[in-house]
Amino acid sequence: MRVFWRNLWKRHEARVGGIILSLVLLAALFAPWLAPHDPTAIDLSLKLQGPSWDYPLGTDHLGRCVLSRLLYGAQVSVGVAVLVMGVTMLLSLAIGLLAGYAGGWIDAVLMRICDVLLAFPSLVLALVLAGLLGQGLFNMILALILVQWVGYARIIRGLVMEARQRLYVQYARVAGTSPLRIMTSHLLPGLLPQVMVLASLDLGSVILSMAGLSFLGLGAQPPTAEWGGMISDSKAYLLGHPLLMAAPGFMIVLVVMAFNLLGDALQDSFDPTRQGGELDGA
């Protein structure tokens, strides 16, 4: 494990990504202490002010402090994305393990469901689900999980089917270990590295789709501070106050890029034969 971390640290993608993410996570955690103002305090006499000592990034159309909203927004944007990814992965692991290990009709039924769901463009499906369930943060989370699990379940199933043939699993079966125990204590540990890579590679895209849905008005509802919603709020003031638009989007780009960098680096460290990541090339 020590070697793994050292290898990871050697890659500068991992260093850059890791540092950015740690900073953002710290900012999100300590937002109540770092933020100079209440992110939802409305004061129309202070609306649309430029940067000043009191308001380092100015104020929005309702006189709320942009910096404070960015800091609290990190809690929602990054926190919820991590939550979505965590639940999605648990669900995909359960379904993938079940389908891959049980095989037979269970596998056939689950995989046909996956086939059908994969035929839909995921952004559109998430939009429909979030829209039909009703606007709100919880419904958006639900919609994203329902859309995301499919692809991972499929990959995990493939990995399980491969692992099932291995001798240590065969041996456990002969020794009379219960299927549940084989899945949890023999198959699961081997899957975790790949699952971690998948999760970190895609966390960025989860943040992007979340912000996109919030931008359209689904997802986090006002007055909650959320980056996608902040972009949407500021579109009417684009001409006079471009900073209102630029700041939240810049944070999204920064965090998504950090996750992509870290994901690529993780992938390389787990699999030394692979040189470079998805965007990195040979």
Partner 1 sequence: MLAAASLVTFLLVHLVPVDPAEAYLQASKIPVTPSAVAAARMELGLDQPWAVQFANWLWRVLHADFGFSYLSRQPVWQEMMTHMPATLELTAAAICWVMMLALPIGIYTALKRGTLADQAGRLFAYIGASLPSYWIGYLLLYAFALRWNLLPVTGSGTFAHLLLPSFTLALGHIAIVSRLLRSTLLEELNKPYVLYARARGLHERTIFWRHVLRHALAPVVTAIGMSAGHLLAGAVLVENVFAWPGLGRYFVTAVFSRDYPVIQCYVLLLTAMFVGANLLVDVVQIMLNPRLHAVKGGSRR
Q: Which is nearer to partner 1, 116 or 192 (CB)?
A: 116
Cβ of residue 85: shortest distance to partner 1, in angstroms? 16
Q: Which is nearer to partner 1, 122 or 177 (CB)?
A: 122
Whether 84 and 148 have beta carbons less than 8 Å apart is answered as: yes
Alpha helices in the chain (DSSP H): 2-10, 12-29, 31-34, 66-102, 104-119, 122-133, 137-164, 167-174, 179-181, 188-216, 227-234, 242-270
- Who contacts 121 (Cβ-Cβ below 8 Å, separation ≥6)? none
Q: Which is nearer to partner 1, 190 or 217 (CB)?
A: 217
- How far is 92 from 117, CA to CA, in rounded Å? 14
Cβ of residue 98: shortest distance to partner 1, in angstroms? 21
Q: Which is nearer to partner 1, 27 or 211 (CB)?
A: 211
- DSSP per-residue codes, 236-257: GGTTT-HHHHHHHHHHHHHHHH
Q: How far is CA 146 from CA 115, 128, 159, in A?
A: 14, 12, 21
Cβ of residue 248: shortest distance to partner 1, in angstroms? 8
Phi, psi of 32 (to 5 degrees): -60, -30
Cβ of residue 63: shortest distance to partner 1, in angstroms? 22
Cβ of residue 274: shortest distance to partner 1, in angstroms? 11
Whether 89 and 206 have beta carbons less than 8 Å apart is answered as: no
- Count the neighbouring beta carbons within 10 Å of the beta carbon of residue 181: 12
By CB under 8 A, name the binding residues for partner 1. 112, 115-117, 119-125, 127-129, 131-134, 204, 208, 211-212, 215-218, 228, 231, 235, 238-239, 242, 245-246, 248-249, 252-253, 256-257, 260-261, 276, 278-282
Q: Which is nearer to partner 1, 30 or 138 (CB)?
A: 138
Output the six-digit token pair for 79.
């926190």
Q: Which is nearer to partner 1, 106 or 245 (CB)?
A: 245
Please identify which residue in the block is written with the tokens 């849905």: 213
Cβ of residue 215: shortest distance to partner 1, in angstroms? 5
Whether 73 and 230 have beta carbons less than 8 Å apart is answered as: yes
Cβ of residue 1: shortest distance to partner 1, in angstroms? 28
Q: Which is nearer to partner 1, 41 or 236 (CB)?
A: 236
Cβ of residue 180: shortest distance to partner 1, in angstroms? 30
Q: Which is nearer to partner 1, 161 or 246 (CB)?
A: 246
